[in-house]
Chains A and B, each alone.
Chain A
């Protein structure tokens, strides 16, 4: 054999060698992710820790200090100590639940209709819904304020909406409907109409088919929409700030409290709401895990 033949042999590319260098790069992403999770949680951790801070008394008003002295549960015991904060929390909760319920009720049907039917004005409705989400909150808030003020001073109508609980409630419903609608719509769009048609083939009339077949399938979407509306309402600051008049909700009160200093009860209540959210999320995970088994 001549050397020429040997050179004609095709060389198979070598499989890449797992070098030690490759091994540690595998840790970059996980470490990064863990670090990011800690960074995102950091202010919340500070808030929780400082709810146990011992604060030297400066007269009547207790304000959170930067120096940390371990540890006391007195703020937890005196959780209702600041009346304005309690009032703000009450307003937040008594706005959030009704607003979420009503918005879910109204928005579910909007989402259903958009997902199932073709009708004139459908594209327009879609666009309005899209607008309601895309428009910056500050525009929404300021326009709602302008609305309430204009209604109050338009003589023939004389429709005076007091700036306070009612204006906050009406505003929260207004911006939540769109979010519920798209949540439900997306759910409905992914729905297989054949199920409902099958039910109708089995002599179920449309209403029964809806309640017994469609509704249970889209129910997670409705629940998701409700929770979304609830969270949006509890957390809303910008729109509420415009229409609240002299009332406060929890976020607006905290914002105002920063002028003179935040009382430690804010840390306590923040922790409470946080734990409530974690609890709810944990339930969701368990329920979803359970459904998978």
Chain B
């Protein structure tokens, strides 16, 4: 018997020999040919078996079949959200604790959503199978995936009778957005702007326009980042195009601009979401970024960061709460959603996460809170109350725009075919 090399766990001579022993003769190859034919036949049989008709999947709940009466709510809600998107103190969530105290409904909070596309993919199999996704509230940005959820009947229709706070306190931009008439499926969580975030200590010169991202007069070589999902809309806005009504020719213009950026000296990498880490690690001097992220690290993290809306316009987006189909506790979920439209609760959020609140009354509350506090905390609160990015006036609102909504397969495929290959060179 051959001597195996000693003491190699798992890998040993037997394995190596097993890998190298002879396997197939010519006869076997011919047999295989037959099997391949059989495979394709099996595939066609599978096609016959699959049994679902085309069109939207099972699991659609007809409107009105879900009971939102709070008295019927069971005692637990699963809330899935993006990271850094809720108030946090010493490992607990003060606003959620307050909710539990008021309603006796416990909340499991998971910040598991890192980008719309991947998260959509994670819950897609359950939605298609008509199963409970295990989440009662999820937060999705306006755009293709939100549209797909609504179009396929996977977003539970909300009963307007049970959201008093929303009706009373919501900002005008949060009511009846163009992608969800009458808020039949969604209620805004927060809004924000995509612009340019940069490290004041690393840039050559502070940028003002989107084109500056390509220029070594402003940024050192290999230090600029791009947000893949937002970039097309942001670029179109800065080229003077209204993304909401854009078509293929405009998309091509934006694609050309992005290709130029990708090939320029300053370009470093394109991100789904993880630019923050590279920014903190000083691999990036500047990047397309979300306002709240940059402000969070600037105000609470003390980092030398700045966020600007590019001179020719910023991209406005709205993150929306919705209840996925077949949720176990839609009544409780709607209660929680409406809870955050009470100004006191919305204040708890905004004081921590620095995004645009859909409850305008919060601004005064924060200002009063700042006046009542002292020291550095007061300064930070005052900054929060006065930051124009959080409380957009008409002028700012006119300089930002929502992005393109993709609502058909042709549009979706054409969009992806135009923009995705830029980052897959």
Contacts and interface: CB of A to CB of B under 8 A. Distances in A.
B114 A259 contact: yes
Contacts of B32: 127
A258 B21 contact: no
Given A183-B15, A258-B277, A259-B274, A284 B128 contact: no
Interface string B1-35: 11010111111111111110101110110011001
A186 B16 CA distance: 8
B217 interface: no
A186 B50 contact: no
Interface stretch (A145-153, A196-204, A208-216): A145-153
Interface in A104-129: 123-124, 126-127
B55 interface: no
B57 interface: yes
Nearest to A123: B28
Contacts of B7: 281, 284-289
A127 B23 contact: yes
A168 B302 CA distance: 41
A143 interface: no
A205 interface: no
A66 interface: yes
Contacts of A246: 112, 119, 122-123
A224 B10 contact: yes
A276 to B, nearest CB: 12
Contact of B9 (A156, A163, A280): A280
A191 B14 CA distance: 11
Interface residues of B, number: 62
Interface string B42-59: 000010011110000110
A155 interface: yes
Interface string B147-181: 00000000000000000000000000000000000
A150 B273 CA distance: 30
Contacts of B301: 58-59
Given A148-B125, A153-B52, A63 B28 contact: no
B125 A163 contact: yes
A228 interface: yes
B1 A190 contact: yes
Contacts of A220: 4
A154 B52 contact: yes
Residue picked from B6, B9, B58, B128, most chain A C-beta under 10 Å: B9
B131 interface: yes
B28 A284 contact: no
Contacts of A148: 125
A79 to B, nearest CB: 16
B10 A292 contact: no
Given A123-B28, A150-B50, A185 B18 contact: yes
A218 to B, nearest CB: 9
9 contacts: A58-B301, A59-B300, A123-B24, A124-B35, A133-B19, A162-B126, A246-B122, A259-B276, A289-B6
